[in-house]
Chains A and B, each alone.
Chain A
C-alpha cells in the first residue's frame, strides 16, 4: 500500500493577468507599441502579451527617472524615502500569495518555492533597505554619502521578483531612481510590482519598468542619461556590458555566472549533507548562478554518499509547478532546455556516467529530469561550463588541499559549499576558497543582511548588507 499524494493545486484565482501589458513610466502604465508573448513554461500556455521597448520608451523612462531624481527623490530626506520602501515591503507581504502564484505561472518554479522563498525574501529585502535610507552616515561610507543618480538595472529570469528587489531596494534606499528591465520570459511580477509602487504612492518616475529583450537591455546600457548599470545574468553578457561601458563614466556592478564546488569531507553529517547536495543543484531547477553544480566528494566516502544521494533523488517530485507538493518544476524556456540537453549530451560523449531517477515528465512544457554525472574530471565540459539546469557533476578528491585546488580551478568564483563537522577545517577551507559566498553545512541561503557577489569572472560588487550599499553611492574610486 503506498501513500500517493492527491493533486494539491494552488488556486489561480488570486491573480488576474491582463491580456496585454505596456510599460510603467513616470508613475503610469503606458501602452507599448510592439508585443511578444510570454508563456507558462510548464504548459506552453500563452499568459499574456508583453511590450517590447525600443528607443522612444527607454528614452522616456530615463527622462522620467532623471526628472524624479532631480525634482523629488534627491531632495527628499532619507527618513521619508525609507517610509516609501517600508510601504512597499508591507504591501508585498499583503499581496504575497498573488505574487507567488504569478511568479510560478510565469517562471515555472514550484509554488512552494515562490511562496516560501522568493516572495518572503523579496519583501524582506525592501524592509531591510528601508531602514538604511536614513542611516547612510553610519554605513562606513563617509559622513554624507551621495547617490549616483539614475540606475539602469537589468535582471534575469531565474528569480524575477527577488532579483528586482535586490536591485531596486538598495538603489532607492541610497537615493537613486531606476529604470529596470525584467527578463523577457518573466516580466509579470515586475509589472505587478509597478502596481505596488502605485499603491505605496511612490513619487512618479522613481521606479520605471520597461519590458523587452536583449535589444532593450542594450539601449539601457548605452544610454547617456544613465549613471549606473547593474546587471545580473551570464558572464558572456556581463563582459559585453563591461566593454560597452568602459569609455563612459558609468559605474557598473555585475552578478554573473558560477560553477560552484560543493565539497563533502568524510566527517560530514551525512543525511543533512545529502539534503544540501540536492538543495544545492535541484533547488529552482538548478537555474541558480550560485548552484552547487560540482560535487567534490572525498574519495573514501564517495560510494556511500552517492548511494544515499541516488536514494534521495528517487523521492524528488518533478511536475506541475502549481502543485504544492512539487519539488522541481519546469525549465524556464525552450532555449534553456536546449542548452541543458546539449551540455548533458557532451557529458555522455566525454565519457561521464549519467544517472537520473525515473520521472513521469509531462508531455507539454519544458522538462529535464534531475541528473547526476559521475566519473567527471576537471577537463570535462560539464565540469567547466555553467549548465544552469538540474545537472550535477561529481568529482572526487583525496586530501583537503586537492579539494581546494579543484574547487578554485575555474574562472568563476561566486560560491562554494563545505560539508564537515570539524570547525577548524571548515574555517580553513573557507579561507582558501576563492568565492564570494561560502556555505558551510548548508546551501542556497540568502538574507538581505548578507552580502552576495563573486570573485573573478563571477562579477563585480556585492548585493545586500552594508557592503551592498556602496554600489549605489559615490565612492572613492573614479572608475
Chain B
C-alpha cells in the first residue's frame, strides 16, 4: 500500500500528516459559502445545472420498511425520472441497503437501466458500531449481490477519541474488499464530527487511505451537507489533487431538497475544485425528494410557468 507516499501506515506518520494540516476558521468558511450562495444562476446556465444535477442524484431509499416493491419503484424512477419526457436523463445511481442490492440490480437490468449503478451503504450503516468482521462481510455481501459502489461509514467514536489509525485502517480494509469491483465512498457523518477542523482532517485521512469519494453524511443525522461543510471537503479534495494528481469525488447527502440547494452545491464545486468535477464520476448528491423538485424546475424553464407536484410521479 503506497498511500500516495503521504503516510507509511504507522500511527506516528498518520498523526504527523494530520497535524500538519492548516486549520479552518469557522466564520471565514461560512462567509465564503454564504457569498457563493448569492450566485444568480439563470436561463441557460440554470437549465444546464438542473440537467447536470439530475445525472448526479444518487436516488436513495434507506428505510427499515423498504420492500422489494418500494425498491423496484425507485429503480424505475431512477432510469426514467419523468415518464412523459424521455429527454430527462437517468440519475447517477440507486442507493439501497445491502439486502436490497440484488432486487435493485435485477430490476434495473430488466427495464433498460444497465447504465445505472447500484450503490450499497455498508459497514453497519448508519452507526458504524459493529465488529470489523461484520463490516467486512456487510461489504462483501453487497458486492456479491451486484453493488458497483460502496458507501461506508467511518467509526466516529474512534475518530473523536483520537484513534485516527483505527479509522484509517478500517478504510484500508474495506477498500481491499472493494478491489476493482466497486468504488468506495467514505461517509464522515459531519454532523457528529461538528468542527470544520475535524471535517478537514477526516477528508485528508480518508483520501490517503484510499477513498474514491468522500461523503458528508448518512442522511440520518442533522446537520448534514451544509454548504460550508461541503466547501471544506472540496478544498481538501482540491489540495489533495495538487499533492497527488488524483481526483477524488465528493458526495453531499442529506438536507438537499430543492433545486436551489442543488445549484448552490454545483456553484461550490465550480468555484472551488473547478469544472472538471462537474460530472457524476466526481460529484454526486445523495437525495430522494430533490429529484422531483429538479423536474418541476426543469418544466418551469421549458414551459414558462410554475409547476405542481401533481405533474411528477411520487415514485
A contacting B, Cβ–Cβ less than 8 Å: yes
- Per-residue interface assignment for chain A, residues 268 to 303, with 1 indicating a CB less than 8 Å from any chain B CB and 0 otherwise: 111111011000000000000000000000000000
Contacts of B29 in A (CB 8 A): 271-272
In chain B, positions 249-277 with a C-beta closer than 8 Å to chain A are: 266-267, 270-271, 275
A8 CB–B CB distance under 8 Å: yes
Q: Does A1 contact B279, Cβ atoms closer than 8 Å?
A: yes
B221 CB–A CB distance under 8 Å: no
Contacts of B23 in A (CB 8 A): 267, 269, 421
Contacts of A2 in B (CB 8 A): 275, 278
Contacts of B39 in A (CB 8 A): 5, 324-325
Pairs across A and B, CB under 8 Å, 23 listed: A1-B279, A3-B45, A3-B49, A3-B266, A3-B267, A3-B270, A3-B278, A5-B41, A116-B38, A267-B23, A271-B24, A271-B28, A271-B29, A271-B32, A272-B25, A272-B27, A272-B28, A272-B32, A275-B28, A324-B40, A421-B25, A441-B25, A441-B28
B86 CB–A CB distance under 8 Å: no
The smallest beta-carbon distance between A242 and chain B, in angstroms, is 38
With the chains together, A5 CA to B263 CA distance in Å?
Answer: 12
Contacts of B49 in A (CB 8 A): 3
The total of Cβ contacts below 8 Å across the A-B interface reads 70
- Indicate whether A270 sits within 8 Å of B22 (C-beta atoms), given known contacts A6-B44, A441-B27, A442-B27: yes
| Closest A residue, CB atoms, query B200 | A271
- Of the candidates A3, A8, A112, A421, the one having the most CB atoms from chain B within 10 angstroms of its own CB is A3
A135 CB–B CB distance under 8 Å: no
| Closest B residue, CB atoms, query A116 | B38
- Indicate whether A275 sits within 8 Å of B40 (C-beta atoms), given known contacts A1-B275, A6-B46, A421-B23: no
In chain A, positions 1-16 with a C-beta closer than 8 Å to chain B are: 1-8
The smallest beta-carbon distance between A142 and chain B, in angstroms, is 37
With the chains together, A1 CA to B42 CA distance in Å?
Answer: 17
Contacts of B45 in A (CB 8 A): 3-6
The smallest beta-carbon distance between A301 and chain B, in angstroms, is 9
Contacts of A425 in B (CB 8 A): none
A3 contact from B27, B31, B42, B48, Cβ within 8 A: B48
| Closest A residue, CB atoms, query B29 | A272
Contacts of A112 in B (CB 8 A): 38
Contacts of A269 in B (CB 8 A): 22-25, 28
Contacts of A6 in B (CB 8 A): 41-46
With the chains together, A72 CA to B185 CA distance in Å?
Answer: 72
Give me 12 other A-B pairs in contact (C-beta within 8 A), A3-B49, A275-B28 excluded: A1-B278, A3-B48, A3-B52, A3-B270, A6-B42, A269-B24, A271-B22, A271-B28, A271-B32, A271-B235, A272-B29, A275-B31
- Indicate whether A275 sits within 8 Å of B32 (C-beta atoms), given known contacts A324-B40, A441-B25: yes
With the chains together, A8 CA to B40 CA distance in Å?
Answer: 6
A315 CB–B CB distance under 8 Å: yes
Contacts of A268 in B (CB 8 A): 22
| Closest A residue, CB atoms, query B271 | A315
With the chains together, A6 CA to B47 CA distance in Å?
Answer: 10
With the chains together, A5 CA to B23 CA distance in Å?
Answer: 31
Name the 7 nearest CB pairs between A and B, nearest first: A272-B28, A8-B40, A324-B40, A270-B22, A272-B25, A269-B25, A2-B275
In chain A, positions 310-360 with a C-beta closer than 8 Å to chain B are: 315, 324-325
| Closest B residue, CB atoms, query A5 | B45
Contacts of A3 in B (CB 8 A): 45, 48-49, 52, 266-267, 270, 275, 278
The smallest beta-carbon distance between B25 and chain A, in angstroms, is 4
The smallest beta-carbon distance between A116 and chain B, in angstroms, is 7
With the chains together, A8 CA to B39 CA distance in Å?
Answer: 9
In chain B, positions 43-89 with a C-beta closer than 8 Å to chain A are: 43-46, 48-49, 52
| Closest A residue, CB atoms, query B263 | A3
- Per-residue interface assignment for chain A, residues 255 to 275, with 1 indicating a CB less than 8 Å from any chain B CB and 0 otherwise: 000000000000111111101
The smallest beta-carbon distance between A191 and chain B, in angstroms, is 28
The smallest beta-carbon distance between B43 and chain A, in angstroms, is 5
With the chains together, A421 CA to B19 CA distance in Å?
Answer: 14
Interface residues of A (CB under 8 A from B): 1-8, 112, 116, 267-273, 275-276, 315, 324-325, 421, 441-442
A8 contact from B27, B41, B52, B271, Cβ within 8 A: B41
With the chains together, A442 CA to B26 CA distance in Å?
Answer: 11
- Of the candidates A268, A270, A273, A442, the one having the most CB atoms from chain B within 10 angstroms of its own CB is A270
With the chains together, A112 CA to B29 CA distance in Å?
Answer: 19
What range describes how many residues of B lie at the interface? 20 to 34
Contacts of A116 in B (CB 8 A): 38
| Closest A residue, CB atoms, query B278 | A3
- Of the candidates B28, B235, B270, the one having the most CB atoms from chain A within 10 angstroms of its own CB is B28
- Per-residue interface assignment for chain B, residues 82 to 112, with 1 indicating a CB less than 8 Å from any chain A CB and 0 otherwise: 0000000000000000000000000000000
- Of the candidates B22, B31, B43, B46, the one having the most CB atoms from chain A within 10 angstroms of its own CB is B22
| Closest B residue, CB atoms, query A270 | B22
With the chains together, A3 CA to B38 CA distance in Å?
Answer: 16
With the chains together, A404 CA to B235 CA distance in Å?
Answer: 31
In chain B, positions 9-37 with a C-beta closer than 8 Å to chain A are: 22-25, 27-29, 31-32
With the chains together, A325 CA to B38 CA distance in Å?
Answer: 8
The smallest beta-carbon distance between A268 and chain B, in angstroms, is 7
Contacts of A4 in B (CB 8 A): 45
The smallest beta-carbon distance between B243 and chain A, in angstroms, is 12
Contacts of B266 in A (CB 8 A): 3
With the chains together, A271 CA to B271 CA distance in Å?
Answer: 13
The smallest beta-carbon distance between B103 and chain A, in angstroms, is 34
With the chains together, A257 CA to B224 CA distance in Å?
Answer: 45
- Indicate whether A272 sits within 8 Å of B24 (C-beta atoms), given known contacts A2-B275, A3-B270: yes
Contacts of A441 in B (CB 8 A): 25, 27-28
With the chains together, A5 CA to B44 CA distance in Å?
Answer: 8
| Closest B residue, CB atoms, query A278 | B32
Contacts of B27 in A (CB 8 A): 272, 441-442
The smallest beta-carbon distance between A176 and chain B, in angstroms, is 36
Contacts of B267 in A (CB 8 A): 3
The smallest beta-carbon distance between B139 and chain A, in angstroms, is 33
With the chains together, A138 CA to B49 CA distance in Å?
Answer: 55
Contacts of A5 in B (CB 8 A): 39-41, 45
The smallest beta-carbon distance between B265 and chain A, in angstroms, is 12
Contacts of A421 in B (CB 8 A): 23, 25
The smallest beta-carbon distance between A141 and chain B, in angstroms, is 33
- Indicate whether A442 sits within 8 Å of B275 (C-beta atoms), given known contacts A116-B38, A421-B23: no
Contacts of B24 in A (CB 8 A): 269, 271-272
The smallest beta-carbon distance between A180 and chain B, in angstroms, is 31
- Of the candidates B45, B271, B278, the one having the most CB atoms from chain A within 10 angstroms of its own CB is B45
With the chains together, A275 CA to B44 CA distance in Å?
Answer: 29
| Closest A residue, CB atoms, query B270 | A3
The smallest beta-carbon distance between B300 and chain A, in angstroms, is 16
Contacts of A276 in B (CB 8 A): 28
The smallest beta-carbon distance between A304 and chain B, in angstroms, is 9
With the chains together, A268 CA to B21 CA distance in Å?
Answer: 11
The smallest beta-carbon distance between A92 and chain B, in angstroms, is 21
